[in-house]
Amino acid sequence: MGFEESKREKKEKIHFIGVGGIGMSAQAMHEHFCGKEVSGSDPYSSERTQYLRTLGIRVYDRHEEGNVNGVDEVVMTPAVSKDNPEYIAAVRNNVKITMRIDHFRRILEPFKGFAVTGTDGKSTTTSMLANSLINLGADPYVFLGALHNKLEHGNYRKGSEKTKIAVYELDESQPGFEQFRPEYLIITNIREDHLENYRDLEHYYSSFETLIKNSKFVVTFADEGKYKGHATFGIYSGDFKMVERKQEGFRQVVTIITPWGEKKLFLPVPGYHNALNALAVVTLLASTGYNIDDVLSSFHDFALPGRRFNVSYEDPNRRITVVDDYAHTAEEVEVLLKTAKEVYPDRKVVVIFQPHRYTRLKREADRFSKVLQLADEIYVTEVYGAFESKNGASARKIVEAIPRAVFIEQLDELKKMTFEDGAVYMFVGAGDIYNVSQEIIKNLSVQ
């Protein structure tokens, strides 16, 4: 046996349980491109599982003990139950088991990290930061919690080994995110979401405090006032302030005050919230050595990531527009509907909203009922549980507070909807409502 053959036989083997997840798939691709033998399992066929197969990654469509035969490490999330046959086999065979968040932290250790966390806007802000650094020549690795056309592999980009920069989205929904140690950190905002995963409110906030201490340079939202970073952005206060915003269709011109005086940011995407996301990125890059004018110019070709005000269908004859969006907190739904009213000021806006998680529904039902009324017509589906137990909760509670809203018990009912000329239909939520909207679009396309 030759040396090269022996070397190939010793290639490290790593298996991901639930490899189709947006975070897991990015980590799996990274290990694949680092030369490891990667496999994964996921009973839910998706665009990501199909894409991983095109790269040569073996993806099993069932959880079975044999899937982990001969592997050196198994990566999993807290959502994987202890009766999962792959987990059981890994324990029985003394295979190294690593939680996804710990594996993610480990693979980021060699990099200079640019992290984005916070309650709202993480994916968009991360994609903006990545887009700007790519245009500025930094050639970063990127780990994104959404799909973006700027990234070669959708939610992952292999960058330069010379610069060793990694841009990544840092999910605050579970304890453990505070253990990361990024060089640079943006906190978009901090609100009391995902509290069910923390001991109490103090535990939630102390996690952010720990992360701030672990980061070398931190950017925070000044108007919120919870924490003051090394540089701040905002509307009413901050080192970088947004003082005016003019929406022109899908584009907007944002006037900002900076330490270098008043500047204009030409942003090719709509929405007040996206102007703030961009301002956070400008604040970080301009404060850490990049030329302010080069940073502002780096947004010229920015496009929103998938399911962020994504115009999925347009019929110019009937003036029917279908928009998909991932918004799932009340604040996100509010800014989404306000943006729709800005972009389409003379058109009827119809929202079809799928609440995400029963815990969030219980906490924010009244708030959802209020913000959904920004739309002209309202449909609310049953909750997408995301592995949570129902515990008697139902999205009917939202509908009962809005006399003109319609409750949709089964998603298939939406396929019977009639589409009105001149209207904009917003399919909103972080669950599987996107699958239904895509089926509807197929039907509309053949009409």
343 with 200, same domain: the answer is no
The mean pLDDT value for 261-290 works out to 97
Among 49-63, 386-400, 432-446, where is mean pLDDT lowest? Answer: 386-400
The mean pLDDT value for 98-127 works out to 96
238 within a domain of the structure (yes/no): yes
Tally the domains of the chain: 3
205 with 158, same domain: the answer is yes
Distance CA 422, CA 406 (A): 21
Look up the domain containing 278 and give its range. 110-297
Strand partners, 218: 185
103 within a domain of the structure (yes/no): no
The mean pLDDT value for 370-393 works out to 89
4 within a domain of the structure (yes/no): no
6 within a domain of the structure (yes/no): no
Residues in the chain: 447
Using CA atoms of 46, 51, 53, 54 in order, give the dihedral in degrees to the nearest 10: 150
CB 146 within 8 A of CB 155: yes
Tens digits of per-residue pLDDT, 248-263? Answer: 989 999 999 999 999 9
5 within a domain of the structure (yes/no): no
Residue 226 has pLDDT above 90, yes or no: no
78 with 164, same domain: the answer is no
CA terminus-to-terminus distance, the chain: 63
The CATH number of residue 431's host domain is 3.90.190.20
Distance CA 258, CA 255 (A): 10
Write down the pLDDT at residue 447: 66
Tens digits of per-residue pLDDT, 333-375? Answer: 999 999 999 999 999 999 999 999 888 888 889 999 999 999 9
291 with 249, same domain: the answer is yes
The CATH number of residue 290's host domain is 3.40.1190.10
Question: Which amino acid belongs to residue 67?
Answer: N
292 with 144, same domain: the answer is yes
351 with 254, same domain: the answer is no
Strand partners, 98: 75
3-state secondary structure 300-321: CCCCCCCCCCEEEEEECCCCEE
324 with 344, same domain: the answer is yes
Which two structure tokens, joined as six digits, stand for 214? Answer: 């672990």
144 within a domain of the structure (yes/no): yes
CB 237 within 8 A of CB 243: no
86 with 29, same domain: the answer is yes
Residue 1 has pLDDT above 60, yes or no: no
290 with 383, same domain: the answer is no
Write down the pLDDT at residue 3: 47
Strand (E) or helix (H) holding 247: strand 240-248
CB 10 within 8 A of CB 40: no
94 with 226, same domain: the answer is no
Mean pLDDT of the chain, nearest integer: 93
CB 340 within 8 A of CB 348: no
303 within a domain of the structure (yes/no): no
Closest CA to 270 of 297, 250, 291, 242: 250
- What residue has token string 């004859």? 317
82 with 133, same domain: the answer is no
The mean pLDDT value for 436-442 works out to 92
Residue 191 has pLDDT above 90, yes or no: no
163 with 185, same domain: the answer is yes
Share of the chain above pLDDT 90, in %: 82
The mean pLDDT value for 114-140 works out to 96
The CATH number of residue 35's host domain is 3.40.50.720
The mean pLDDT value for 278-290 works out to 98
190 within a domain of the structure (yes/no): yes
Closest CA to 164 of 111, 115, 105: 111
